A = this chain, B = another copy of it.
Amino acid sequence: MEFFAHNAATGEKLGAYRDATAAEIDAAARAAAAAARAFAGLDPEMRARFLETAADEIVALGDALIQTAHRETGLPVARLEGERGRTTGQLRLFAAVVREGSWVDARIDPALPDRKPLPRPDVRRMLRPIGPVAVFGASNFPLAFSVAGGDTASALAAGNPVVVKAHPAHPGTSDLVASALRSAVQKAGLPVGVFVMVHGASPEVSLALVRHEAIQAVGFTGSIRAGRALWDAAAARPRPIPVFAEMGSINPLIVLPGALRERRDAIAEGLVGSCTLGVGQFCTKPGLVLGLSSPEWDAFARSVADRARAITPGVMLHAGIQASFDRAVRELQGVAWLTDTGARVARVSAADFARQPHLAHEIFGPYTLLVTASSRGELLQLLGALDGQLTATLHGTADELAAAQDLVDVLGRVAGRLVFNGYPTGVEVSHAMHHGGPYPASSDARFTSVGSAAIFRFARPVCYQSCPPALLPPELRDENPLGISRLVDGRATRDPIPPRA
């Protein structure tokens, strides 16, 4: 099937692409499989340098990358420059993680030859690459969650070849980034299969890739419908593989009464900014704002509405997203609209929200729903009944937060990340970040797609029992030549294993 890139602002056709054929998908997956062993065997320093070279090559694409992405996505140049920095920053973060080396979770239980009734053998384990990973680019972050985004960076960092299926909304941007990655592969002297990209606008391309026997794991960011289709295909394989799909979230944000009294307009300002950042096309956009019925809450709603009305909506990522947003807003039943221009704000009572499950569905774009609860009990009940969420945010005074353990408990069960007196958009790329949550926020709540812990999705332990020292990977040798943190007899240490008497 042929498809086209479009100028998001004008609708002008920018270039023709076509779905990868079955043979091309097969060739891509086989190339990745053929490269797996050599890439897995690369020493950590070389792998770190490869990731840094990939970052350098992306920077070297220069303004052509930014302009292409700007045309294809409608995102402002400044935002795209920031996103490029985030993308190269992720690659460099993973380079640092690989170079430091402790991520392999090395564990050593030395032999206990005199243990009774049976001696204990020497047992050591560490994480090793899982095998070729299929990555699906997201439409809303054409750089940071796409061809060289967090999924690709973490899969490569773990030592796995990657096959990317480019998002059809920014194929030209994808081609440029892919050229940078291929250049890094070449400069590192690695097999070409370490990074391969295919194009496709049909679900069949994605499904064929996920079903390919050479593919060992999947990273995806996008809609629940598409993510679930990949999940189902992977689960039905003769040999199932893990799918890390980051899907949908409405990111509840609760404003307690004291916070409204202290800084009503500041919160309204921050909320509208967060809801309209990137034209509301963030998976962490707060799409559900909850408060307790009161005159202050009514004033807050007016303040939000006034600010939202004044927003001039930007260009959305592509015509399909714009049409979906317009339709979703037009057809939304059972709410009172507070704005009919600018960013869209609606309002509903908690009781009416609970009666209308469709109100809990994500609407991707500059929209949010204010929900008025009549009591804290009703608020807690509503929150506890929500589907899984990427984030939940709580605004309160110091005293209110100190007394908010009930809210923190329920939000901790519903969401992957709790934000206090802030806004959920702007996901920090760091070691402690968790970007994931109970289904359908992500397909496996135990893993993050942002931050250095994302690497754990794409590795599996291999255990060595009574292994001759010369055959052990450096990470597991007595001397600890890499100086990594290891769990020795259950205790974290960077010390070598002392020679036995």
Q: Mark A97-133, 1 if CB is under 8 A from B, else 0.
A: 1001010000111000000011011011100101000
A239 touches B440 (CB 8 A): yes
In the complex, A417 has a CB within 8 A of chain B: yes
Smallest CB gap from A393: residue in B: B465
In the complex, A13 has a CB within 8 A of chain B: no
In the complex, A351 has a CB within 8 A of chain B: no
Total copies of this chain within the assembly: 2
Q: Mark A66-95, 1 if CB is under 8 A from B, else 0.
A: 000000000000000010000000000000
Q: How far is the CB of A76 from chain B (nearest CB, A)?
A: 15
In the complex, A26 has a CB within 8 A of chain B: no
- By a CB distance below 8 angstroms, the chain B residues around A125 are 417, 432-434, 453
How many angstroms from the CA of A53 to the CA of B97 in the assembled complex?
41
- By a CB distance below 8 angstroms, the chain B residues around A448 are 461
How many angstroms from the CA of A401 to the CA of B469 in the assembled complex?
10
Complex interface residues of chain A between 376 and 412 (CB less than 8 A to chain B) = 388, 398, 401-402, 404-405, 408-409, 412
Contact of A123 among B130, B240, B432 (CB under 8 A): B432
Q: How far is the CB of A222 from chain B (nearest CB, A)?
A: 17
Q: How far is the CB of A259 from chain B (nearest CB, A)?
A: 13
Complex interface residues of chain A between 37 and 81 (CB less than 8 A to chain B) = 37, 41
Smallest CB gap from A129: residue in B: B413
Q: Mark A416-432, 1 if CB is under 8 A from B, else 0.
A: 11111110001010111
A242 touches B446 (CB 8 A): yes
- By a CB distance below 8 angstroms, the chain B residues around A444 are 242
Q: How far is the CB of A37 from chain B (nearest CB, A)?
A: 7
Q: How far is the CB of A48 from chain B (nearest CB, A)?
A: 14
A235 touches B231 (CB 8 A): yes
Contact of A121 among B37, B102, B422, B487 (CB under 8 A): B422
A231, A421, A460 pick with most chain B CB within 10 angstroms = A460
- By a CB distance below 8 angstroms, the chain B residues around A388 are 239
B418 touches A490 (CB 8 A): no
In the complex, A352 has a CB within 8 A of chain B: no
- By a CB distance below 8 angstroms, the chain B residues around A466 are 419-422
In the complex, A445 has a CB within 8 A of chain B: yes
Q: In the complex where A239-B440, A242-B446, A470-B402 touch, is A416 in contact with B232 (Cβ < 8 A)?
A: no
A416 touches B463 (CB 8 A): yes
Q: How far is the CB of A163 from chain B (nearest CB, A)?
A: 18
Q: How far is the CB of A107 from chain B (nearest CB, A)?
A: 4
In the complex, A464 has a CB within 8 A of chain B: yes
- By a CB distance below 8 angstroms, the chain B residues around A7 are none
B416 touches A130 (CB 8 A): no
Smallest CB gap from A124: residue in B: B432
In the complex, A499 has a CB within 8 A of chain B: no
Q: In the complex where A422-B465, A448-B461 touch, is A107 in contact with B240 (Cβ < 8 A)?
A: no
In the complex, A20 has a CB within 8 A of chain B: no
- By a CB distance below 8 angstroms, the chain B residues around A231 are 235, 240
In the complex, A221 has a CB within 8 A of chain B: no
Q: How far is the CB of A39 from chain B (nearest CB, A)?
A: 13
In the complex, A468 has a CB within 8 A of chain B: yes
Q: In the complex where A109-B428, A232-B235, A433-B125 touch, is A418 in contact with B464 (Cβ < 8 A)?
A: yes
Smallest CB gap from A412: residue in B: B462
**A contact residues vs B (CB 8 Å cutoff):** 37, 41, 82, 96-97, 100, 102, 107-109, 117-118, 120-121, 123-125, 128, 130, 231-232, 235-236, 239-240, 242, 388, 398, 401-402, 404-405, 408-409, 412-413, 415-422, 426, 428, 430-434, 436, 438-440, 443-446, 448, 452-453, 456, 459-468, 470-471, 485, 487, 489-492
CB-defined A-B contacts under 8 Å, sample of 25: A82-B117, A102-B492, A107-B432, A107-B453, A109-B430, A120-B430, A121-B422, A123-B433, A125-B434, A125-B453, A128-B412, A232-B236, A239-B438, A239-B439, A242-B444, A242-B446, A398-B468, A401-B471, A402-B471, A416-B463, A417-B463, A418-B465, A419-B465, A436-B461, A446-B461
In order of increasing CB-CB distance, the 4 nearest A-B pairs are A235-B235, A434-B463, A107-B432, A417-B463
